[in-house]
Amino acid sequence: MNFSGEGVGVSAADAAEAGAAGVDVAVIVVAAGSGTRLGRAEPKAFVTLGGRPMLAHALDGVFAVREAVQLIVVAPDAELERARAIVAASAGPAVDYTSVVVGGASRQLSVAAGLAAVAPGVGVVLVHDAARALTPSGQFEAVIAAVRSSGAGVIPALPVVDTIKRVDASGLVRETVDRSELAAVQTPQGFVRAELDEAYAAPSADFTDDAALLQSFGHSVGTVAGDERAFKITTAWDLARAERLLAESAGSAGSRAVPRVGTGVDVHAFAPEDGADAPELWIAGLHWPGQRGLSGHSDGDVAVHAVCDALLAAAGLGDIGGIFGTDDPRLAGAHGEVFLRETRRLVEAAGLRIGNVSVQLLGNRPKLSPRRLEAEALLGGILGAPVSIAATTTDGLGFTGRGDGVAAVATALLYPA
């Protein structure tokens, strides 16, 4: 992840990184509201909830999304440094880069500030309130999927269960409203980026949510099922409710949701320099044209093989040799995607989900840095989880330093599904 310390917009370099990583989704988290109704002097998003700022909890749902996204946090001018620190402390490799920008005098102006920081190439934008701090990642993913499938705006909604009355200024009941046609809406609200840009270019009024703004421009907005946990923390009672839910979740998770860690190592030597059948070089799922390949029964992708071993080890399923064999003719020359997809299937069939994967390459070629983001996006997309990749030359020491081959060490984190 590339954390932007400036926090006042998106630099050309940041935008280029997002584009190279194939990031299609941006999430704007609005954290610029006051804490007046909560009875606090500080802005609501920075009030402590379960020992952490409310904003940190809100970011948990974003960082758990199983694809790379751009994150933009909109904060009050006086709280920019705190917001940056919270993002840096909470951040995981699921987010390719982040920005912290200054909000406006209203929610709509704050969203506009966040929208201005969305990188070119992003097609789907989600707007989320930090006050809905316990929103699960599944709600983000449901909104993203619905926007993509419908090509329109989508908001999470819950059915209204209370009887609703319309009353006048004196408190006199005028009518009973048909609640079957009503819904309580939540965030994140998701939109096609071009439609949101159009609406914010010339807003006709100051609306309380983005869906109403888009509808004022004639755009349709659909719904997906909301989640009770995504309630908005507005009053002290709401805050106490959130505290109770966190305590209950920690108590039940402590006995069963134990994370599992696995480590994998793989080594391959470079193939001889000449020969008509010299293999191509494949590392981290990418083809490296014009470079001498690694010897191996498949494509010799040390990074992918180490990742598979780490995932299998964490799941208690053995290793890549035991699962796939070392001389299966069907896998001769097979590329890493084949191994990764099957390994993911086995892990998920065992009742586990991938939290994240980290890979360290050891070798003096190829040079990883120009294609690191591309590799992370590719592997992360296949595994449905964040993948981070780094490399070292080992300062010329050992067989990797001499250029005889490449090694890789991977660590994987799994959670019960």
DSSP element (H, E) containing 284: none
Q: Which is higher by pLDDT, 230 or 376?
A: 230
Whether residue 335 sits in one domain with residue 305: yes
Binding-site entries = 266-268, 297-298, 305, 319-321, 392-395, 399, 402
Residue 11: the pLDDT is: 43
In terms of domains, do 200 and 308 share one? Answer: no
Q: Are residues 265 and 252 in the same domain?
A: no
The DSSP code sequence of 47-111 is SEETTEEHHHHHHHHHHTSSS-EEEEEEE-GGGHHHHHHHHHHH--TTEEEEEEEE--SSHHHHH
On whether both 34 and 99 belong to a single domain, the answer is: yes
Mean pLDDT of 190-212: 93
Rounded to 5°, the CA angle 65-69-75 comes to 100
Q: In terms of Cα–Cα distance, which of 123, 121, 115, 136 is closest to 188?
A: 136
Q: Does the structure show a pLDDT above 50 at 206?
A: yes
* Residue with more model confidence, 248 or 136: 136
Mean per-residue pLDDT, 99-119: 94
Residues forming a β-bridge with 29: 73, 128
Q: Domain containing 82: what range?
A: 2-256
If pLDDT is split at 50, 70 and 90, which confidence band does 401 have? low
Same-domain check for residues 212 and 274: no
What residue numbers does the annotated binding site for a divalent metal cation cover?
A: 266, 268, 305
Tell me the mean pLDDT in the region 352-361. Answer: 91
Q: Once rounded to an integer, what is the mean pLDDT over residues 42-62?
A: 90
| Alpha-carbon gap, residue 359 to 338, rounded angstroms | 18
Last residue of a domain, one of 256, 277, 302: 256
pLDDT at 375 over 90: no
- Model confidence at 128: pLDDT above 70: yes
Where residue 279 sits, what CATH number does that domain have?
A: 3.30.1330.50
Q: How many domains are contained in the chain?
A: 2
